[in-house]
Structure 1
């Protein structure tokens, strides 16, 4: 709460200020404050009325659903996302197309995707064909 509102909310401060203020000015301030309070009450009543109208509409829709044989809870359960399902598709790994022996003599495979293994690229540079490594 701001300092001016704190002083307006304190009865002792108001009484002290009122002693130093003319009656005409106090009545003018009272009229303005009454206008503000009335506007605030009307705004609150309007918000409350909108909530009541919305609730009445929801109840009417609920009654119509029940009349048509639809359980509102069943409707809500049908709209919620299912747990445990993945939104991303999982791609299968590609089968190997090429086979080669690495520098340690172990047999390795390559799908043909991505960077060419050094052993194969060195062999191609040495005159071999990629077709020679096919499985």
Structure 2
């Protein structure tokens, strides 16, 4: 528990701690705490207003869905129901680079971490352009 939480929960301890401060320090502390309180209240009001706006939007969407006679499943199916990222997830990509290294052919799409064999090839003084597959 922090010191402020302890003082906030026990008035006697707060008074005892306040006796160690000058009047100016105590007034400054009170002003700072009041400013923090106002800021927290404003943040809470903004959060509640945002929550109410989202609830109103959700109610309006629910009303439109009800009026349309469609179910959420039908809407998902009709709209494609697949996010852009999941539409390409797991699909293989054509290789962009090909090298002959130690008698073997290696291919790489150019995405993700550079494979060790390609890194060794590049470290040997070759460039990506040397390994690029020309169509």
Q: TM-score, normalised by structure 2?
A: 0.48
TM-score scaled by structure 1?
0.48
